[in-house]
């Protein structure tokens, strides 16, 4: 009985399948966080581009359109 219990404990200690699954889970979580962060940055950049385009279209016939457009260009960089 004690030998059986000892052999079960040895097998449990040598089994690394659970640890490997946890490592894969952590890697997947890290990749997901990176993808979310990248998508957020891209969305912010696209939003700024649309805002500048909107200002350009709204101010097409105004005298200070060039000044506002230059402000948009400076904000993007």
Q: Where are the domains of the chain?
A: 19-76
Q: What is the DSSP letter of 61?
A: T
CA dihedral 29, 30, 36, 40 (to 10 degrees): 150
Other C-beta atoms closer than 10 Å to the C-beta of 50 total 10
Residue 75 has pLDDT above 70, yes or no: no
Mean pLDDT of 38-61: 82
Assign 32 a pLDDT band (cuts: 50, 70, 90). very high
With beta carbons less than 8 A apart as the criterion, state whether 65 and 59 touch: yes
pLDDT of residue 51: 85
């Amino acid at each position: 009985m004690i030998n059986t219990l000892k052999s079960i404990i040895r097998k449990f200690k040598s089994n690394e399948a659970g640890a490997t699954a946890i490592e894969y889970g952590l890697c997947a979580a890290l990749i997901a966080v990176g993808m979310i962060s990248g998508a957020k940055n891209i969305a912010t950049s696209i939003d700024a581009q649309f805002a500048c385009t909107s200002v350009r279209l709204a101010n097409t016939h105004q005298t200070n359109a060039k000044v506002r457009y230059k402000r948009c260009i400076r904000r993007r960089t």
